[in-house]
Structure 1
Amino acid sequence: MIRVLLVDDQQLIRAGLRMLLDAEDGMTVVGEAGDGRAAVEQAARLVPDVIVMDLRMPGVDGITATSRITAQRPAARILVLTTFGDDDHLYPALQAGACGFLLKDAPPAELLAGIRQAASGESPFSQEVLRRLVRRAVDARPEPPHRVEGLTTREQDVLDLVGEGLTNAEIADRLHIGVTTVKTHITALMTKTASPNRVRLALAAHRPHD
């Protein structure tokens, strides 16, 4: 059972999230907080598996709350859920210790999947956010793609396109294969390149030869 703490200053949003999560098998909401100060207190008291964190709140904001929670418990899994997907919110949240970043207009299925991913140690990101992370990471390391040892030709093709910041659907369309097949290749690539998430995998496409 994944125990979730909801943090948002809007009661209506918290109520909607609670209904969604409590109706899902394997998830339960163990607490709610309407501001960052309460979030820090409840995180310490309840020790939830995943904290769904809003960013803009009165008093102590979500970024500050995230930083305080991870300072107390570095292993805390904090999934940002916000309306604001710009870099001014994204990078400070990640630097504060958030493990993932979803936008509030994400489909319910994406949020539920993101919570499961966060609980299992992965880093869930909305596609728009992921694309920006990949682009920025690649721009910071502009080496051209290279061959990674032990990959099939198709896996290398998929890796190169991940390195360009393409989504699974875009990769499938480019290579004329199914999205499920793309996901299978990406799972194999993460194992072969020891990449814990898609951003690291994108960087693997641009890693220089040893």
Structure 2
Amino acid sequence: MIRIAIVDDKINNRKVILDKLSLHNYFNIAFQAVNGEDFLLKMHALSEDDLPHIVLMDLEMPEVDGVSAIGTASSLYPNVKFVVLTIFDDDDKIFRAIRAGACGYLLKEESGEVVSDMLMNLWESGAGPISPSIAYKILQMVQMPHTAKAEKETENIFQLSEREKEILQLLSQGLEYKEIGTKIFISPNTVKKHCISIYQKLHVNSRSQALRIAYTKGLI
């Protein structure tokens, strides 16, 4: 059975997704979440053996949106596949979701058969499920590289300040609060406050998790 997690703030949308997946008996719903924050909390509570294989993620949600949730979770759970399932097909959202770590992008208008078949292909062969209209847009993006934009968008996913990025870099060197404060001329308590802000923006609760995301997302 393929374990699926569904993340969408609207109960009717979640019901529609459940109905589409129920057309076949090879999907098992690991859990449902109402936003990115709820999703991350539920992921943290699961053992590695109980994690979903595939996460269907909406983009526009309160508290923590889909892009931020994917950006954090794709680093913490590298074996989990993240597929955007949304109504939005504008270039910016596609670009940001893929940069965050999504391996597929499906529009909610796709039929149950199409969604099920694409998720099965993802499970069996690793082929990222992409709606045809989205595939065309991605092809256009590839043909017109956005290297500078890509770097900027990665930073914007987490919205770290310049000071926070500086402190994150120093954390990666193994420095403690007092040592960091001495280097950049602020108090250890101020360094601690910046670290708390960094952890909140990355949706983690430890230095090791923060650095893991920073390395995989090219923040340092």
TM-score, length of structure 1 as denominator length? 0.63
- Quote the Cα distance in structure 1 between the aligned partners of 2:21 and 2:111: 13
Q: Residue 112 of structure 2 corresponds to which residue in structure 1?
A: 108
Q: Residues 22 and 107 from structure 1, CA distance in 2 versus in 1: closer, same or farther, beyond 3 angstroms?
A: closer
Partners of 1:22 and 1:29 within 8 A in 2: no
What SS does the corresponding residue of 2:94 show, helix, strand or coil?
helix
- Quote the Cα distance in structure 1 between the aligned partners of 2:4 and 2:33: 11
Q: Residue 83 of structure 2 corresponds to which residue in structure 1?
A: 79
Percent sequence identity over aligned pairs: 29
Is 51-60 or 8-17 further displaced after alignment?
8-17
Larger relative helix fraction: 2
Matches within 5 A, 1:7-156: 7-44=7-44, 45=46, 46-120=50-124, 121-140=126-145
- Quote the Cα distance in structure 2 between the aligned partners of 1:137 and 1:34: 33
Partners of 2:20 and 2:113 within 8 A in 1: no
Runs of 4+ in 1 over 4 A off after TM superposition: none
1:24 Cα deviation from its structure 2 partner = 1.2
Structure 2: stretches of 5+ with no match in the other structure:
146-220
What SS does the corresponding residue of 2:40 show, helix, strand or coil?
helix
After superposition, the C-alpha distances for 1:152-198 in whole angstroms (9 at most, x for unaligned) are xxxxxxxxxxxxxxxxxxxxxxxxxxxxxxxxxxxxxxxxxxxxxxx
Is 101-110 or 40-49 further displaced after alignment?
40-49
1:92 Cα deviation from its structure 2 partner = 0.7
1:42 Cα deviation from its structure 2 partner = 2.2
RMSD of the TM alignment (CA)? 1.7
What SS does the corresponding residue of 1:124 show, helix, strand or coil?
coil
After superposition, the C-alpha distances for 1:112-135 in whole angstroms (9 at most, x for unaligned) are 122212323221110001011112
- Quote the Cα distance in structure 1 between the aligned partners of 2:23 and 2:30: 14
- Quote the Cα distance in structure 1 between the aligned partners of 2:122 and 2:58: 16
TM-score, length of structure 2 as denominator length? 0.60
Partners of 2:53 and 2:79 within 8 A in 1: no
Query: Using CA pairs below 8 Å that are at least 6 residues apart, which structure has the higher relative contact order?
Result: 2
Structure 1: stretches of 5+ with no match in the other structure:
141-210
